[in-house]
């Protein structure tokens, strides 16, 4: 979701080394300068624009990614008052499944297909029906957001662009090339979104052949580097444009949510990291794997080699709140401007005045389809139960409650397939809303642990930079020094009955909408 106020910029003192974490999100790029104790000295933020050519399509311009990165890094350096010699390592996280077709020098051939783009749903279905063994790791079905469906869509619908492309890669790969001048792949991305599975021999060549994408392998770099490793350094051209020092170590980048999990310290069995941003991602580590749930998948070696990472998610959460803010909060924005605060503070005040359950409103948060547990790209959002008694506060609270219900549905589904949830840690921009976090605790009826650094993705990237720079031996050592949990939000047990009832109605509404039945989805 959009950045809220509250970032504490400060001037760096002494000569301690600093780490630069680059967090390439959906709505902005954030550059964080972090010290070895895990404290952020300054942020630089630059916006990104998304275009929506058709319903369920979403695209971005890679040229703007780099332009915004230059602005964000410059702001962070200026705010901290430090020179390039203080930055001893660079880490990177980017949105997952944001696919770029480009030439060998990185020049884009067309706009990038953003992660939330759902246009390749037919291609995803075609891949799923192959029944390839590699699909075991993705619960039997691929998402239209992922690499293979998007590449297949390009080949079918834009063959000229597909053929011209020397590289069909993700945002992280493109950024790593721009930073270092070398083409590599991230094992994190490949294991999670490219159907790469070491237990099955690596690339799913039989699957790739079955859907007619044999030539795609030639458009991928040969080198696959684990998250945070690789031994790369900042090239001269990038250093000059960013105002940094050539030769600075650059850790292999990865998926924003996975770096967020590292930045939250959620790496023990039973820990669940919930990263709340434009979308929400749920991540948990497992030694044996959790299979058969409606999660996006359970991926070997995705974060730590030798472990599986279970991932699930909601395609739209903070982006729904931003949709509401942009289109329906004119009064709140004007009041916020007059008071000198963020519009979300006014919206939160109005939502907090509404009782739990939003007096009968039920919302399905499927604005961009359902990622988990249904993997239904055709699902759409709905607002049910409106009356003349409802106002803006009711609707905004109902949006908060719907997104929390989505998380509850995901965790209940995974628990039924063997996931033992012992601790829930929430990070990302959404964690800055006290009300949203309390609603999560109440809907889940579990304590919510909040880290000191809410921008956990940038911190996770900085932690990989610290390892690449040799400050720590590995990510576990970095976590011990750089991650701190600040507070716990306890659930209000008085709201359990209200939210149990709301969750049942929330789940029932999806079924009614999917089946196209003309029924009262709120009826008992």
Residue with tokens 């750089």: 482
Cross-strand bridge partners of residue 112: 60
Q: Which residue intervals of 34-186 are DSSP H helices?
A: 62-80, 121-128, 147-157, 159-164, 171-180
Q: Would 403 be classed as within a structural domain?
A: yes
pLDDT in tens, 141-160: 898 999 999 999 999 999 99
Same-domain pairing of 247 and 124: yes
Q: Any idea what the CATH number is for the domain that residue 137 is in?
A: 3.30.420.40
Q: Is the pLDDT of residue 50 over 90?
A: yes
Q: Which of 41-50, 73-82, 269-278 has the lowest mean pLDDT?
A: 269-278
Q: What is the mean pLDDT of residues 273-281?
A: 91
Same-domain pairing of 100 and 226: yes
Give the per-residue pLDDT at 237.
Answer: 98
pLDDT in tens, 185-202: 999 999 999 999 998 899
Q: Would 286 be classed as within a structural domain?
A: no
Last residue of a domain, one of 256, 272, 291: 256
Q: Which residue intervals of 280-433 are DSSP H helices?
A: 318-328, 330-339, 343-352, 392-415
Q: Would 456 be classed as within a structural domain?
A: no
Q: Is the pLDDT of residue 521 over 60?
A: no
Residue 405: which pLDDT band, with cuts at 50, 70 and 90? Answer: very high
Which pair of tokens denotes residue 366? Answer: 């499927």
Same-domain pairing of 252 and 353: no
Q: Is the pLDDT of residue 289 over 90?
A: no
Query: Which run of H or E residues covers position 43?
Result: strand 40-47
Of 215, 117, 130, nearest to 170 by C-alpha is 117
Residue 7: which pLDDT band, with cuts at 50, 70 and 90? Answer: very low
Q: Is the pLDDT of residue 12 over 70?
A: no
Question: What integer best gives the mean pLDDT of the chain?
Answer: 92
pLDDT in tens, 352-393: 999 999 999 999 999 999 989 998 888 999 999 999 999 999
Q: Is the pLDDT of residue 2 over 50?
A: no
Q: Would 421 be classed as within a structural domain?
A: yes
Last residue of a domain, one of 256, 287, 305: 256
Q: Would 449 be classed as within a structural domain?
A: no
259-290 burial, b at 16+ Cβ within 10 Å, e below that, comes to bbbbbbbbbeeebbbbbbbbbbbbbbbbeebb
Residue 412 and residue 499 in contact, taking contact as beta carbons nearer than 8 Å: no
Same-domain pairing of 70 and 183: yes
Which pair of tokens denotes residue 462? Answer: 């900085």
Q: Would 460 be classed as within a structural domain?
A: no
Same-domain pairing of 231 and 326: no
Q: What is the mean pLDDT of residues 416-423?
A: 88
pLDDT in tens, 291-345: 888 887 889 889 877 888 899 999 999 999 999 999 999 999 999 999 999 999 9
Same-domain pairing of 138 and 233: yes
Total domain count, the chain: 2
Last residue of a domain, one of 212, 233, 256: 256
CB atoms within 10 A of CB 49: 10
Provide the pairing of β-strand 308-314 with 280-286. antiparallel
Q: Please give the residue range of the domain that contains residue 397.
A: 318-434+492-516
Q: What is the DSSP string of 212-254?
A: T-GGGGGGS-S-EE-TT-S-EE--HHHHHHHT--TT-EE---E
Q: Would 277 be classed as within a structural domain?
A: no
Q: What is the DSSP string of 319-330?
A: HHHHHHHHHH-H
Same-domain pairing of 251 and 323: no
Give the per-residue pLDDT at 144.
Answer: 94
Same-domain pairing of 206 and 347: no
Query: Which run of H or E residues covers position 206?
Result: helix 205-210
Give the per-residue pLDDT at 395.
Answer: 98
Same-domain pairing of 221 and 74: yes
Same-domain pairing of 248 and 342: no
Conformational region of residue 354, where left means phi above 0, alpha means psi within -120 to 50, and beta covers everything else: beta
Same-domain pairing of 175 and 323: no
Give the per-residue pLDDT at 9.
Answer: 42
Q: Is the pLDDT of residue 518 over 50?
A: no
Residue 360 and residue 341 in contact, taking contact as beta carbons nearer than 8 Å: no
Same-domain pairing of 95 and 188: yes
190-204 burial, b at 16+ Cβ within 10 Å, e below that, comes to bbbbbbbbeebeebb
Q: Would 311 be classed as within a structural domain?
A: no
């Amino acid at each position: 979701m959009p950045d809220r106020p509250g970032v504490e910029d400060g001037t760096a003192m002494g000569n301690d080394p600093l780490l630069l974490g680059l967090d390439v999100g959906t709505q902005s790029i954030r550059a964080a300068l972090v010290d070895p104790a895990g404290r952020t000295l300054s942020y630089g933020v630059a916006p990104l624009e998304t275009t929506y050519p058709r319903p369920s399509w979403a695209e971005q311009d890679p040229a703007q990614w780099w332009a915004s990165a230059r602005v964000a890094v410059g702001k962070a350096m200026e705010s901290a008052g430090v020179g390039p010699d203080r930055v001893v390592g660079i880490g990177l996280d980017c949105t997952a499944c944001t696919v770029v077709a480009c030439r060998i020098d990185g020049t884009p051939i067309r706009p990038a297909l953003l992660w939330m783009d759902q246009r390749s749903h037919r291609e995803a279905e075609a891949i799923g029906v192959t029944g390839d063994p590699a699909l075991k790791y993705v619960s039997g079905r691929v998402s239209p957001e992922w690499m293979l469906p998007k590449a297949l869509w390009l080949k079918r619908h834009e063959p000229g662009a597909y053929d011209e492309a020397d590289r069909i890669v993700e945002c992280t790969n493109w950024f790593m090339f721009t930073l270092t001048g070398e083409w590599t792949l991230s094992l994190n991305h490949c294991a999670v979104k490219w159907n790469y599975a070491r237990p099955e021999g690596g690339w799913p060549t039989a699957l790739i052949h079955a859907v007619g994408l044999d030539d795609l392998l030639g458009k991928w770099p040969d080198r696959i580097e684990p998250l945070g490793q690789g031994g790369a350094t900042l090239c001269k051209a990038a250093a000059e444009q960013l105002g940094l020092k050539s030769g600075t170590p650059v850790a292999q980048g990865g998926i924003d949510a996975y770096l967020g999990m590292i930045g939250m310290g959620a790496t023990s069995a039973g820990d669940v990291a919930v990263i709340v941003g434009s979308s929400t991602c749920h991540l948990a580590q497992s030694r044996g794997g959790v299979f058969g749930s409606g999660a996006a998948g359970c991926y070997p070696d995705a974060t730590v080699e030798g472990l599986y990472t279970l991932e699930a998610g909601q395609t739209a959460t903070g982006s729904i709140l931003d949709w509401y803010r942009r289109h329906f909060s004119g009064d709140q924005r004007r009041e916020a401007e007059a008071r000198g605060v963020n519009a979300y503070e006014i919206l939160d005040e109005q939502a907090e005045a509404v009782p739990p359950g939003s007096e009968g409103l039920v919302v399905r948060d499927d604005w961009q389809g359902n990622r988990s547990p249904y993997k239904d790209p055709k699902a759409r959002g709905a607002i049910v139960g409106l009356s003349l008694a409802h106002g803006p506060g009711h609707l905004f609270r109902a949006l908060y409650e719907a997104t929390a219900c989505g998380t509850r549905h995901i965790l209940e589904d995974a628990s039924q397939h063997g996931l033992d949830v012992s601790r829930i840690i929430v990070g990302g921009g959404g964690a800055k809303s006290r009300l949203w976090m309390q609603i999560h605790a109440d809907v889940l009826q579990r304590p919510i642990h909040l880290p000191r650094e809410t921008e956990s993705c940038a911190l996770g990237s900085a932690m990989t930079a610290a390892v690449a720079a040799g400050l720590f031996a590995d990510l576990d050592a970095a976590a011990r020094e750089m991650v701190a949990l600040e507070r716990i939000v306890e659930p209000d047990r008085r709201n359990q009955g209200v939210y149990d009832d709301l969750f049942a109605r929330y789940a029932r509404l999806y079924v009614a909408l999917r089946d196209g039945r003309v029924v009262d989805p709120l009826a008992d």
